[in-house]
Structure 1
């Protein structure tokens, strides 16, 4: 009889422990993507009014979403489980509006993020401020110094332009395989080298986001070979750490009421 009670107690303990674990963590994370910020009247889906962004960040904060950093994302991915309601914030293209409008909101809530500038569009390699609608290397250095949890990744050096209406990440017409491989490697290496040199982060640049979310198997292979640890694409679904961290889906977030964001977060 005593042995039976012991077995029952053990089973109860195991069930309690399992339920507790499931409450505290799940296997997935949601990655949100933003681009350009304006004071009001967004002109397209890549623009967001700062009031809408403030409302979204307030919603994440008030509803206890666990906004994680790049380092935490890597850690939890390797552990194959994320804390409950884990969200990663990413910002593409490197607009100065991130620094002017979004960054103060992130600071208010102590939210980390990853910024992905298009390196060829960044003005000023010199160590002084440069006015532009894009973040300069000087701006990036300020972010790097003042906010250690705002990480900088690569959005390629110049793989956004189109040839015959095709993104440059794809092999161009009349371009042989060797030339394509060299072009992609040169672009991804240059973007990485410039960021690491200008931000004094030698061998410490972890993330790459594909332009428009497009990529090829060969481009992915080259990026991995160059040392990019986290590689992001687009895709309206959560990331499951059973997947590779070189093909991470992200949701594009649009301006407007909170329903769009709430619908995304309901995918947990």
Structure 2
């Protein structure tokens, strides 16, 4: 065999070898292990527009792309088990929605069912008193119960507080509010957090088969004291808006999430965002 032919074959083999990891990932190999990309969405709608609203088409495109890329979608129970030491599949993704808009029921839920994707929606329970008075409107308790009972363990509903999602400038979760002209005392603040959390858990408990033990912080705002108060009230897992991967070494009351619910986040961009957030050594991550 001529030397030039041998050289060409060697170069071809080297090229194939370099390409194999990429091909393996595309066909369902491991981008990452022992960690979870927790995705955050808010509103799925085909005419409403905002920085936290995406169309049904884009949501479906994201799920299709991720499925084809080998991502594995897990449920809340599977995620919680992972945080307690259990295993998750490679390329694990956990889908979450904040606020409890009616669009979760009318737009997101059918698409999630089409793809067999689990998801958890964090509900603001005081909005359920008059859900249609808001824009966008919120889900009713009946709509929440309909989804969680139809797909138990797959679609779950948890807390986004009862009445603390009202003011992004002065977050109720961490600020000492002025009540009747006087700033609330530390005791009043602690009582307010405890009472609000208890109210949310009480409202959500009849709306699904799973225990209510998870919460998404309003506007992603929290501090050590508010997290401790949630824990005392029965919340074991709390979700932030810090755009990182979730690992077991994370504080379960400070779980990060990657935003996927903005209109400029294409499937390819979401994929690249996750790849940039991969933790090289998840057991050592903090």
| TM-score (normalised: structure 1) | 0.82
Alpha-carbon separation, structure 2, partners of 1:102 and 1:77: 26
Q: CA deviation at 1:236?
A: 0.9
Q: CA deviation at 1:97?
A: 0.6
Determine if the alignment matches structure 1 residue 28 to structure 2 residue 35: yes
Determine if the alignment matches structure 1 residue 258 to structure 2 residue 263: no
- Specify the alignment match of 2:4 in structure 1: none
Determine if the alignment matches structure 1 residue 49 to structure 2 residue 58: no
Give 2:185's match in structure 1, choosing from 172, 176, 180: 176
- Specify the alignment match of 1:3 in structure 2: none
Alpha-carbon separation, structure 2, partners of 1:246 and 1:255: 28
Determine if the alignment matches structure 1 residue 77 to structure 2 residue 83: yes
SS in 1 for 2:159: coil
Q: CA deviation at 1:137?
A: 0.4
Map of 1:58-207 to 2, 5 A cutoff?
58-79=64-85, 82-123=88-129, 133-148=137-152, 149-162=154-167, 165-170=169-174, 171-173=176-178, 174-196=183-205, 198-199=206-207, 201=209, 204-207=211-214
Structure 2: 5+ residue runs without aligned partners? 1-28, 279-286
Q: CA deviation at 1:122?
A: 1.3
SS in 2 for 1:82: coil
Alpha-carbon separation, structure 1, partners of 2:60 and 2:51: 17
Alpha-carbon separation, structure 1, partners of 2:208 and 2:147: 13
Q: CA deviation at 1:79?
A: 1.8
- Specify the alignment match of 2:238 in structure 1: 231
- What is the number of residues matched between the two proteins? 239
Q: CA deviation at 1:206?
A: 2.3
- Specify the alignment match of 1:217 in structure 2: 224
SS in 1 for 2:84: helix
Q: Are the counterparts in 2 of residues 80 and 242 from structure 1 also a CA contact under 8 Å?
A: no
Give the stretch that moved more between structures: 53-62 or 257-266.
Answer: 257-266
After superposition, the CA RMSD in angstroms is: 2.3
Against the structure 1 CA distance between its residues 23 and 36, is the aligned structure 2 distance closer, same or farther, given a 3 Å change threshold? closer
Q: CA deviation at 1:43?
A: 2.3
